[in-house]
Amino acid sequence: MGKRIGMEVAVAVAEAVGLCNIDMAAVYPITPQSHIAEHLSDLVADGHIDCEFVTVESEHSAMSAVIGASGAGARSYTATSSQGLMLMHELLPIASAMRLPIVMGIANRAVSGPLNILNDHSDIMPQRDAGWIALFVENAQEAVDLSIAAFKIAEHKDVMLPVSVNIDGFQLTHMVEPFEMPTQEEVNEFLPPFVPHATLHPSKPVTMGAFAMSDYFTEIMKAKDEAVKASKKVIQQVFDEWGEKFGRPYKLVETYKADDADVMMLTMGSMGETAQMAIDELRAKGVKAGLVKLRLWRPFPFEELKAVIGNAKKLIVTDRACSFGGPGGPVFSEIKSALYAEARRPLIYNYIIGLGGRDVQVKEFVGMFENVLADTANKAADTYEFWGVRE
Amino acid sequence: MMNIVENFDLFAPRLINKQELISSGHRACSGCAEVLAVRLMCKALGENTVIASATGCMEIISSMFPTTAWQVPWIHVAFENAAAVASGVEAGLKALRKKGKIDDRYVKVVGMAGDGGTMDIGFQALSGAMERGHDMIYVCFDNEAYMNTGIQRSSGTPMGASTTTAPAGKVSIGQKTWKKNMPEIMVAHGIPYVATACPSYPLDFIRKVEKAKSIQGPSYIHCFSMCPTGWRSPSHTAVSMGRLAVETGVFPLYEVENGHYRLSPDMPKKLKPVKSYFKPQGRFRHLTPDQIEMIQEKVTVEFGKLVEKAKFLKTGNE
């Protein structure tokens, strides 16, 4: 059994990664990822982990270097945020096409401009179609657990895809929270050594990153789509194994008081805990409110989502980013499309909330429910609104 | 003395590794000096090598899925990051070897790119990788423009050359800027070994690659690689054009070992005029005698500086 401790979440994530016997890490500092980078370098400097630590000159080179190292067969890790992730963007689809099981921690932060260092999800949303598995966490425990489980998912022979672990910047990375840290022995038992299917070594020369013309490109894209879709099964399997070993089971879509809910809210990331408190308040007032928390953004868990939405009449989707001039928030448009073909589906409302670190309190989540419940003519259904905006 | 070229089979086994690590059947243009240079580099490196290539001519001519011309492990990721990828491969292999997860043998990691992939878009990644001191070689195959995309100017394009984005015209000389002195920038990084080379001098090039291979730490080779297509010259002129570039001082051959300069023995005592190099090339055809003279002056001055450096910053063992 691991010890229950209190620690800053970013530091805890570095500690967790340090338990994973990584061979190589390449990082470039960016707020609010920097405490992950710093603590990982401490662990290397103090000899706690035996790993090549490459202090690259940019995030673009961080991703390039982990691609090279992973291609060589090394278990490789990086972490970034916001502009850094945007700089990596070019390389993300290459990493997934090359089927490299890289794990990346993302301290989610708003994308410029204007420059803003605080939390929202506008950095991860543009990476949606990169072919990476994208996990979201809500608290310290989840950040620690899934940073470890991510390696097992990525390196599974039926997956072999890169994984991002999305951890809300500041709101989560810089909080000191209590959690249970697995022991080295437990992680060793859970996470087998990485056995790559091909490596960049002269003992068996291979060509990686060949170029393909129209005669093969479509087939390669189809293969990647199949691979990402198929990973869903393994992700749940690894979550189940984690649950069995550590007593903390995870699901692709988590719920809170959702079974009999008439009106539901959907969140991703750390705001789920605040929304939970709003649900409790509403339940105390007799409102049958429930919460859906999307843990897995890619591959999108369509069936699992439909199963938990059940018979809810109204669904509030919260977004931490906007698709400007588009259909609303990116999560909103995804949920709408997921439920489009359903004979019975809830009316869907979209609130774009918490941009650039703006706080969203319990009373505001309650307010969203109240607004939606007051919309008896269903006029606001299928629309989106910037919550709390000054106009 | 027996002529080496005429009696190549007699000399070759001693001078050059016969093993081909980039196979024939690749898709390079006829008369491509760059692929000749890559082939020579591979001979010098031998099979205990991993290559990280940038996007560019050498990448597309050698790796069209599902074929490959590479007999050594090879990786291509993107255009601007060959040095960063190579640095990651080096770090990864180092960790795996240390932990006993792979064969315990020394493998040299080599990053390669063209002039655009090195001097323009890949400049930052290269500077970072060299500064970090990775045990790797980086080779720039410089054909003086973005040839793969259709002869657009780069910072490696020489003054006065006509390219598709810096064309000669009624009011334009073509390229309006002097070629970026990339080897000097690498020297300024304080790395153990920097050299210039040209496949027209195969034994000199091979020796330099071998030297770079023997050095623990970063080394940089700037290999001048003529492109008949982009230079608007007949395809049989690749080797002679490289020789003219060296003989005129346009591209002098030298090496810098731990800050000490040495001109290659192949450098002539007296340089030929640059116009003899310009004349056979379509890209310089528009230049007026005044413009050629202006370039000649610069070449003379720059070569003079190099000779001075070689004089005052000699290698320790000379």
How far is A99 from A71, CA to CA, in rounded Å? 9
> Alpha-carbon torsion B137, B138, B143, B146, what sign?
positive
Interface probe, candidates B45, B49, B93, chain A, greatest A C-beta count within 10 A: B93
| Residues in contact with A34: Cβ distance below 8 Å, sequence separation at least 6, in sequence order | A10
| Contact state of A67 with B85 under an 8 Å Cβ cutoff | yes
CA distances from A108 to A98, A124, A173, A356, B176 (A): 25, 7, 9, 10, 45
Of B262, B266, B137, B141, nearest in space to B211 by CA? B137
In 3-state terms, what secondary structure has residue A287? coil
CA distances from A120 to A91, A172, A384, B148, B295 (A): 22, 11, 17, 41, 55
How far is B110 from B76, CA to CA, in rounded Å? 12
Q: What percent of chain A lies above the pLDDT cut of 90?
A: 98
Return the pLDDT at B98: 97
| Contact state of A72 with B66 under an 8 Å Cβ cutoff | no
Half-sphere exposure in the Cβ direction for A176 (13 Å, CA): 3
DSSP states of B111-141: EEEEHIIIIITTHHHHHHHHHTT-SEEEEEE
pLDDT in tens, B160-195: 999 999 999 999 999 999 999 999 999 999 999 999
| Contact state of A202 with B77 under an 8 Å Cβ cutoff | no
How far is B222 from B224, CA to CA, in rounded Å? 6
Interface probe, candidates B85, B109, B126, B189, chain A, greatest A C-beta count within 10 A: B85
Measure the CA angle with vertex A294, ends A270 and A315; round to 5°.
100
Return the pLDDT at B318: 46
Helix segments in B173-227, DSSP class H = 182-187, 202-214
CB B156 within 8 A of CB B180: yes
CATH annotation of A253-386: 3.40.50.920
pLDDT in tens, B21-53: 999 899 999 999 999 999 999 999 999 999 999
Backbone dihedral region for residue B206 (phi beyond 0: left; psi -120 to 50: alpha; all else: beta): alpha
pLDDT in tens, B109-163: 999 999 999 999 999 999 999 999 999 999 999 999 999 999 999 999 999 999 9
A186, two tokens: 């437990």
End-to-end CA distance of chain B: 27
Q: What is the ipTM of this complex?
A: 0.97
Return the pLDDT at B16: 83
Q: Does B207 touch chain A (CB under 8 A)?
A: no
Q: Average pLDDT of chain A?
A: 97
Q: What share of chain A is helix, strand, coil (3-state, %, to 5)?
A: 40, 20, 40
- Whether cis (ω within 30° of 0) applies to the bond prior to B13 is no
Helices (H) and strands (E) in chain A, counts: 12, 16
| Within a domain: B155 | yes
User: DSSP assignment, residue A79?
Assistant: E
pLDDT in tens, A81-98: 999 999 999 999 999 999
| Within a domain: B183 | yes
| Contact state of B73 with A206 under an 8 Å Cβ cutoff | yes
Taking contacts as CB-CB distances below 8 angstroms, the residues of chain B near A64 are 77-78, 81, 84-85, 88, 125
Nearest CA in chain B to A203: B103
Taking contacts as CB-CB distances below 8 angstroms, the residues of chain A near B77 are 64, 67-68, 91, 94, 98, 209
Q: What is the mean pLDDT of residues B271-275?
A: 98
| Within a domain: B107 | yes
Domain of B64 in residue numbering reads as: 27-314
Measure the CA angle with vertex B183, ends B180 and B186; round to 5°.
110
pLDDT at residue B14 is higher than 90 = no
Least CB–CB distance from B75: residue in A200, A202, A213: A200
Q: What is the CATH number of the domain that holds B272?
A: 3.40.50.970
Measure the CA angle with vertex A68, ends A67 and A73; round to 5°.
95
Q: What percent of chain B lies above the pLDDT cut of 70?
A: 96
Return the pLDDT at A207: 98
| Contact state of A51 with B95 under an 8 Å Cβ cutoff | yes
Helix A330-339 with A302-309: angle, nearest 10 deg: 80
pLDDT in tens, A244-303: 999 999 999 999 999 999 999 999 999 999 999 999 999 999 999 999 999 999 999 999
* Homologous superfamily in CATH for domain A3-246: Thiamin diphosphate (ThDP)-binding fold, Pyr/PP domains (3.40.50.970)
Residues 74-93 of B with CB under 8 A from A: 74-78, 80-81, 84-93
pLDDT in tens, A40-77: 999 999 999 999 999 999 999 999 999 999 999 999 99
| Domain range summary for chain A, segments of one domain joined by + | 3-246, 253-386
Prediction pTM value: 0.97
How far does Cα B298 stand from its chain's mean position?
A: 22
Any idea which residue has 């080394």 for tokens?
B219
User: DSSP assignment, residue A57?
Assistant: S
Return the pLDDT at B316: 52
Q: Are strands B136-142 and B108-114 parallel, antiparallel or unpaired?
A: parallel
Other beta carbons within 10 angstroms of residue A11's beta carbon come to 19
Q: Are strands A103-108 and A289-294 parallel, antiparallel or unpaired?
A: unpaired
User: DSSP assignment, residue B280?
Assistant: T
Domain count, chain B: 1
Of A226, A231, A248, nearest in space to A239 by CA? A248
| Contact state of B92 with A67 under an 8 Å Cβ cutoff | no
pLDDT at residue B1 is higher than 60 = no
Q: Does B106 touch chain A (CB under 8 A)?
A: no
| Within a domain: B129 | yes
Q: Average pLDDT of chain B?
A: 95
Return the pLDDT at B6: 73
